């Protein structure tokens, strides 16, 4: 989600660290990274649970080659500097074989150079910024990327909502939100629509009325808000207070129970692109939802699903590799052909999965499936 590149000097130092085999005679240790505190804490909690469920299922079946799989989990706090610290610790001290995570692109862009320098495979569950896998060939992801997600939102607005005019509102200090709005803008105009306002706000803003006043004056049919759930909910409330009665949409950063808790009636009818829908009747989805609810007494969000799929993809690669060294796992990851809860996964040349997206909508206070959009 926001881009912070690690300096070349730090990466060079990290390149001198020892590679870890990540295993012993009795266990295989996998690192997990996600934010349990900070602006995306609900994302981290769901992701950790998804990872734990996947590992439990593997261990219940005997682990890998009779070795128990152990999760070494670290809270990145949604902060790139903290992310770099925990990635280094997982590799140097915990001696993990691979890392699943992180959630946010800005943290992934801090951790990816560390994995690349150490030839240690990582698969981010939900870092959607295209720059993440461009760091190097040891960096993979389980989710679709923002150019596709932004285009999906634009296509839905144009073709399903029949919108002719759209406005965008985003956090200028977050490359995820800024980039997603840019991709929506480009897709919407390419499809024949008109962007009547393209407004940014500073990170940490809680009063969006100045930007919303300008946007509403331009009379858009839809407002595309690419922010995370907290800001998106506040923006929806303030837009309604200013008299806006049209629809609002966004990206996967909206996927949190906090969206409806904070937004209430203001987010009713709003929609966003996502990686899966809990009410999808596909057997693999319903089986996962049932297992997750039984273990955690909660409905899984897309963060849980992608962390579960990401961990399963990584463990499947470790099993096929037959070894726990980085190059062997990396080669197995490249050859992935895996059916997960969020769809069938094969990696393209940039180690991004080619998969579909869904549009979900807030209806009667619940997020429900609306449509599927294919690549």
Per-domain boundaries in the chain: 8-144+283-355, 147-274
d(CA 78, CA 36): 8
Runs of H (alpha helix) within the chain? 8-14, 41-60, 80-92, 105-117, 131-134, 146-155, 175-190, 209-217, 229-241, 257-263, 283-296, 302-321, 326-334
Backbone φ and ψ for 228, nearest 5 degrees, come out as -70, 170
**pLDDT > 70 fraction of the chain, expressed in percent and rounded:** 93
Mean pLDDT of the chain: 92
Range name among 22-36, 154-168, 307-321, 323-337 with the lowest pLDDT average: 22-36
Q: How far is the CA of 33 from the CAs of 289, 296, 301, 308, in angstroms?
A: 23, 19, 17, 13
pLDDT at 362 over 90: yes
Q: Does domain 147-274 have CATH number 3.10.20.600?
A: no
Domains 8-144+283-355 and 147-274 equal at CATH topology level = yes
| pLDDT for 23 | 53
> Is CATH 3.40.50.2300 correct for 8-144+283-355?
yes
Indicate the pTM of the whole model: 0.80
State the pLDDT at residue 24.
Answer: 59
Q: Which pLDDT score is estimated for 355?
A: 80
Strand partners, 168: 198, 224
268-286 pLDDT, tens digit each? 999 999 999 999 888 999 9
């Amino acid at each position: 989600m926001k881009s912070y590149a690690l300096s070349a000097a730090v990466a060079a130092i990290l390149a001198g660290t020892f590679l870890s085999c990540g295993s012993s005679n009795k266990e295989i240790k996998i690192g997990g990274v996600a934010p349990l505190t900070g602006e995306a804490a609900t994302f981290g909690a769901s992701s950790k649970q998804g990872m734990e469920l996947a590992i439990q299922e593997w261990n219940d079946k005997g682990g890998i080659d009779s070795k128990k799989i152990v999760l070494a989990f670290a809270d990145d706090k949604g902060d790139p500097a903290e992310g770099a610290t925990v990635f280094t610790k997982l590799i140097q001290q915990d001696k993990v074989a691979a890392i699943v995570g992180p959630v946010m692109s800005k943290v992934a862009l801090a951790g990816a150079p560390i994995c690349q320098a150490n030839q240690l495979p990582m698969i981010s569950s939900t870092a959607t910024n295209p720059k993440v896998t461009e760091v190097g060939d040891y960096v993979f992801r389980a989710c679709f990327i923002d150019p596709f997600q932004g285009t999906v939102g634009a296509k839905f607005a144009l073709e399903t909502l029949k919108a002719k005019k759209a406005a965008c509102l985003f956090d200028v200090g977050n490359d995820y939100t800024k980039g997603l709005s840019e991709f929506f803008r480009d897709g919407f105009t390419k499809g024949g629509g008109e962007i009547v306002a393209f407004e940014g706000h500073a990170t940490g803003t809680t009063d969006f009325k100045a930007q919303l006043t300008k946007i509403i004056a331009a009379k858009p049919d839809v407002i595309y808000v690419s922010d995370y759930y907290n800001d998106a909910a506040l923006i929806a409330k303030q837009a309604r207070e200013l008299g806006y009665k049209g629809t609002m949409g966004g990206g996967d950063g909206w996927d949190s129970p906090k969206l409806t808790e904070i937004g209430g009636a203001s987010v009713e009818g709003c929609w966003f692109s996502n990686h899966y829908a809990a009410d999808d009747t596909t057997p693999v989805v319903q089986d996962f939802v049932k297992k997750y609810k039984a273990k955690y007494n909660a409905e899984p969000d897309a963060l849980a699903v992608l962390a579960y799929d990401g961990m399963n993809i990584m463990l499947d690669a470790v099993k096929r590799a037959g070894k726990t060294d980085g190059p062997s796992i990396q080669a197995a990851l490249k050859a992935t052909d895996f059916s997960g809860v969020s769809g069938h996964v094969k990696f393209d040349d940039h180690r991004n999965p080619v998969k579909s997206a869904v549009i979900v909508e807030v209806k009667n206070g619940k997020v429900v499936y609306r449509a599927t959009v294919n690549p």
